Amino acid sequence: MATHINHLLDLEGLSKEEITSYLDLGEHFKGVSQRRIKKVPTLRHITVVLFFIENSTRTKISFEIAAKRMSADTLSFAASSSSLAKGETLLDTAKTLMAMRPDIIVIRHFAAGAPHFLARNVPAAIINAGDGGHAHPTQALLDMLTMRQHLGKIEGLEVAIIGDIGHSRVARSNIHGLKTMGANIRVAGPRTFLPPHFNTLGVQVYDRIEPAIEGADVVMMLRIQKERMGKDLFPSDREYARFFGLDAQKLKLAKPGALVMHPGPLNRGVEITPDIADCNNSVILEQVENGVAIRMAVLYQLGKHLVEEA
């Protein structure tokens, strides 16, 4: 049994050097994924459990591909087909999994704090793959890698994050990571999507999209998270698209060549028009590619201790 367990639960509290190290490793592993033979033996003998209690396409598949490219064994686990559906608790489920001795658990859960709970209660390395509206650290790392690769740096960038800020774990993790790396952040959305505490996070808050986008190096659009909200937080998709959706006219306010980003999944025609989602400035699919690279980097950082101690 390993004696030294690292986790990745949040970017809050990580230093600039630690984030830079993930980005450098991500760049290295992106190179591995671009080779004809994409597999390295680095995490042979390591077992990774993908414990996804909430739906996912990009994060789940990219963690699975990342683990397989590192030669780890993987086991996928969905709530609907497990005994969670029969009322088993998260802790009992985790203890049951631990009896089978996995080394790393990648968890996505609708409840904020679920990965932290596992980290306190089970002796495996825990990776947060998104917990409720709280944090999505690997998404923010892959976003920062994409910015660094296109714009050459993160420090001093003007990054506009637009949309359903209040429910967004992507916004929270990007704010923590980007601030640590020295970027300036503007957030914008309808007032009902802007919780008052965002004023304390060191970001500029706008209730209109135009001033947030003006002169921005990066425009990151977010999906409206209807699954996390009650009724009546916004009038209609149509009105939202008119005032807060990114279209060609609004994008002209950003710097020429500004990156258009979106963590996915997209609601085309709501937060972003189809032509802008697919335009030359859009790096949305590159974010997906960088997702595999960053997840290889994170699995390596956490798994290398376990390999060394084996």
- Interface residues toward ligand CP, by CB under 6 A: 56-59, 130, 139, 263-265
Smallest distance from ligand CP to CB 261, Å: 11
Going 199 to 203 to 209 to 215, the CA torsion angle's sign is positive
CA distances from 190 to 215, 236, 244 (A): 21, 12, 8
Minimum distance of ligand CP from residue 112's CB (angstroms): 15
- CB nearer to ligand CP: pick between 5 and 104: 104
Smallest distance from the beta carbon of 85 to ligand CP, in angstroms?
20
Tell which residue, 180, 183, 225, 223, has the closest CA to residue 204. Answer: 183
Closest by CA position to 32, among listed 264, 310, 269, 297: 297
Shortest distance in whole angstroms from residue 246 CB to ligand CP: 17
Strands of the sheet containing 47-52, edge to edge, are 73-78, 47-52, 104-109, 125-131
Q: Nearer Cβ to ligand CP, position 205 or 221? A: 221
Grouping H, G, I as helix, E, B as strand and the rest as coil, residue 19 is: helix
Instruction: State the minimum distance, in angstroms, from the CB of residue 84 to ligand CP.
Output: 19
For ligand CP, the closer CB: 6 or 56: 56
* Single-letter amino acid code for the residue at 206: Y
Rank residues 130 and 189 by Cβ distance to ligand CP and give the closer one: 130
The answer to whether the CB of 70 falls within 8 A of the CB of 297 is no
How is residue 75 written in tokens?
A: 């086991």
CB of 268 or CB of 304, closer to ligand CP: 268
